[in-house]
Amino acid sequence: MAFRPGHRVKGNRSGQALRPFVALGLFFMAAFILTNLKIVILPMVLAFFISCLLNPLVAFFQRRGFPRLFSVVLTLILGLMVIWVAVNFFLESLYSFQNGLPAYKARFDGLVSDMVAFKNRRFDFVTLDMFKEQLQKISFGGIVGGVLNSFVTFAGYFSLTLLFTLYFLPALPAFPEKLKKAFPGRKGLRLSAALAEVSDKVQSYILVKSLVSLGLGICFGAVCLLFKVDFAASWGIIAFLLNFIPTVGVIVSLLLPTLLCALQHGWASSLWLALCLGAPAALVLNWVEPHLLGRSVDLSPTAALMAILFWGVLWGGVGMIIAVPATAVIKLTCDSFDGLRPVGTLMGN
């Protein structure tokens, strides 16, 4: 029986036609696993990023003659002290806000009445009764209670993240050598180089993002203090944390103190506050971060937006925070292997 090459070509074409469906199936399978094993995978991912961030400080203590394990413990103690101070300060602000709820509620009702009066004078053809009813149903106490409940969930994830960090941080420098031993030859070298590049890129991104967020937080806190907005320092801390969520976080951190300023000092002051906060926020979004972070994370704006939506659906607010570095890790991994390089190219600028 003569060999007919056409049969083989037909088989190859059938395999190529099935590849998109296989890739789509693997994508949904990965999303299912990431969602249902969130309680384990999310702390592991956070621990890896934290280990990349803290590793330079551990290396600094090692250069001073301290053993690796002692340097790790000392670094974690310093980090926990900073977190403890910030969380306590933020909780005190929440309790103060809760104690001032009656006054804020009275001011809120006054603002709603002013809006209705303004509408009746200028836009009497617009009906705002339903809108007013919905606004008056807002429970500030429920909002504060929900935030406090979130801290309980956060404590569980924080404990697991700390446990994984205690494992990852001491072992991080040994990972490349372990990969070389596990995969001898060129494959091990490639995996080791990819891991080193991923670690360096993630470290660079987190350090630069932290410094930019710190500057933005200080600026927000100072402006709120200048406008005599309650809990000015807390708004600075919130701006620092939310800036890790690209674009969306800055907008939310701008709106929250603006609304509180409207409750305290009226709409005119809140508009001036929004302008004063919007100027540094626009500078950070449009110039500072693109220039400083462009080299560390080579992601297109479309890829970054899709990453925020994808990780946000999977893991909520924390997923939105780690969306960009997590997607950058995926892109760097794709760039390191010939078969996945087209995917990395599509995700880049």
Task: Name the region of 246 (left: φ>0; alpha: ψ -120 to 50; beta: rest).
Answer: beta
- Look at residue 137 and tell me if it is in a domain: yes
pLDDT of residue 262: 84
Residues, the chain, total? 349
pLDDT tens digits, 64-103: 888 888 888 899 899 889 888 877 877 777 676 666 666 6
- Look at residue 199 and tell me if it is in a domain: no
Residues 121, 124: Cα–Cα separation, whole Å: 6
Region of poorest pLDDT, from 107-121, 164-178, 304-318: 107-121
- Look at residue 49 and tell me if it is in a domain: yes
- Look at residue 143 and tell me if it is in a domain: yes
pLDDT tens digits, 259-275: 888 888 877 888 999 99
136: domain range? 105-148
- Look at residue 80 and tell me if it is in a domain: yes
- Domain's final residue, options 99, 115, 138: 99
Give the amino acid at 150: S
- Look at residue 16 and tell me if it is in a domain: no
70 and 90 together in one domain: yes
Total domains in the fold of the chain: 2
Residue in the block written with tokens 């072992």: 171
Q: Please name which of 7, 340, 13, 321 lies closest in space to residue 157, comparing C-alpha atoms.
A: 321
Residues 55, 173: Cα–Cα separation, whole Å: 9
DSSP characters over 273-327: HHHHHHHHHHHIIIIIHHHHHTTT----HHHHHHHHHHHHHHHHHHHHHSHHHHH
- Look at residue 87 and tell me if it is in a domain: yes
Highest mean pLDDT of the ranges 201-205, 274-278, 305-309: 274-278
95 and 122 together in one domain: no
The tokens describing 330, both together, are 């995926």
- Look at residue 292 and tell me if it is in a domain: no
Cβ neighbours around 22 below 10 Å, total: 10
Q: At 3, is the pLDDT very low, low, confident or very high (cuts 50, 70, 90)?
A: very low
pLDDT tens digits, 197-227: 777 777 788 888 888 889 999 999 999 999 9
DSSP characters over 164-199: HHHHHHHHGGGHHHHHHHHSTTHHHHHHHHHHHHHH
Residues 205, 49: Cα–Cα separation, whole Å: 10
Please say whether the beta carbons of 276 and 224 come within 8 A. Answer: no
